[in-house]
Structure 1
């Protein structure tokens, strides 16, 4: 029986990677006079690295650091850390504004409403910055937002997805066996994190993840779907917990 539903944010609640995060990174590079612009294709490759700060670090490690800026921020590893932190803060501020104009993915509000009506508990596990996920949840309206018991976001854990640490933290927050919960993810990194923590996981594919390997998922769909074309209902999600308990 389904007692809790845990959502990832990016690609699950809003398809944010291409039209929000990527744009925000590029705005940050421009603001800091860094000669970098991430194309849609390049960002698809960079998304293999979970976490925005980690993504920028991997990019600069491959393509070269803006040495003058690194020196301005203290030089060496200290300067790199400080620059990444400053870039990420600026990017988060920009993206928190951009997301207010983006739509929630089809079926998200419907499933949230079904969950609330059936006393199914709600939470979020995401690598995104807390300020950003706060802006995303604002899209649902204050009454729905208030029903989310926890939002584990950003650097709340020491290792980001695909490490299962953030979903282990969710289990502590809920105090429920994983077999009574379902995670909704959109990426292979998220899937590995959730299943690594023992959760049955539904995948809703997004712009950048449609061709990824989801063989460990309990079910894979293109979206949750809005009425009259709902693809996944709360009963479907509950069936995933029943299937998991039979193994």
Structure 2
């Protein structure tokens, strides 16, 4: 695949590797995929303030690891030898749609109100609860800590059924929001999905949320033509949820692809941890609740995927991150 695009090349001062001679340093420099952990705003600042030279140049006795990334334009130049990802995997909430604050949280609260539980999750509290993967797990942890409602069952088994019934109703309310298109796709999602599908890259959505809710997001907001080509792995498809890598391991096995050839788009620290533990490349697109989380282990971090002319990255950039893994 030959693609021409503009690139910013930054030479970072960290993680340099001593070389035996200055002549070898120019021909066999190691590329660090983690070098792309820079917020796009920082990249824009660097681009605007050093337009004509590489930044942070190291001495001639070291080999400096290079980063190619971008802000608001195509970020890599994909040559004909650049291998595309075998699969492009998206988280749902916060990646496809910024659903948490005005979607899931509202639906939880409406459910609690219907059931007269006397519980309300405000914006800040819900942000803390999002550190727990899975809605049923989130409610259980909250009630275990704060006390179960008076009208909740007493036995552990009955409480599991109670939580399941709450989550089922919450999912119904959330799906109504999606079906009425009250929550839009995040910028660039449809573009990147289309690029992958056009090139024969497998696409899947991998989420801790209920499978029906995730299917509603994909079908209603991405449309039926895209939806029929996208596999969904969600909810209780695995017994252990993110940050456990089980869901991404399952996806790789099901799709018949190597984890190292997959690129994941996540928005949270627990999603990033799951992807990296599965041996996959992971790009973070920050969402409303996750902007201040630790993404040190990410391969790249952006505020969104973005549509032209506000594009942050594309399929070629995803391919370039994979290519860096194999340069030695």
Per the alignment, residue 184 of structure 1 pairs with 265
Distance in 2 separating the partners of 1:115 and 1:137:
15
**Residue 242 (1) aligns with residue 323 (2):** yes
Please say if 1:12 is aligned against 2:123.
no
Please report how far the alpha carbon of residue 179 of structure 1 lies from its aligned counterpart in structure 2 after TM superposition.
2.3
- 1:133-172 alignment, distance < 5 Å: 133-138=214-219, 139-148=221-230, 150-172=231-253
TM-score by length of 2: 0.72
Q: Does 1:21 align with 2:110?
A: no
Looking at structure 2, the residues matched to 137 and 157 of structure 1 have their Cα atoms a distance apart, in angstroms, of 20
Q: Residue 79 of structure 1 corresponds to which residue in structure 2?
A: 158
Post-superposition offset of 1:240:
1.1
> 1:180 and 1:82 mapped to 2: Cα distance?
39
Q: Which has more helix, going by share of residues?
A: 1
2:13 aligned partner: none
* Cα distance in 2 for residues equivalent to 1:244 and 1:114: 22
How far is 1:178 from its partner?
A: 1.9
C-alpha distance in 2 between matches for 1:37 and 1:44: 13
SS at 2:263's partner residue?
A: strand
1:117 equivalent among 198, 212, 217? 198
Q: Structure 2 stretches of 5 or more lacking a match?
A: 1-82
* Separation (CA, whole Å) in 2 of partners of 1:57 and 1:244: 40
Larger Rg: 2
How far apart in 2 are the matches of 1:162 and 1:104? 24
* CA distances 1:138-162 after superposition (whole Å, capped 9, x unpaired): 11111111111x2110001010000
Runs of 4+ in structure 1 displaced over 4 angstroms? Answer: none
Q: Could you tell me whether the CA contact under 8 Å between 2:117 and 2:151 is conserved in 1?
A: no
Q: What's 2:285 paired with? A: 204
How many residue pairs were aligned?
242
**CA contact under 8 A between 1:179 and 1:245: conserved in structure 2?**
no
- Mapped pair 1:36 → 2:119: yes
Could you tell me how far 1:246 is from its partner in structure 2? 2.9
CA change 1:79–1:67 in 2 (3 A) is: farther
Q: RMSD of the TM alignment (CA)?
A: 1.0
| 3-state SS of paired residue (2:264) | strand
Unaligned runs of 5+ in 1: none
Aligned-partner SS, 1:155:
helix
SS across alignment from 2:138:
helix
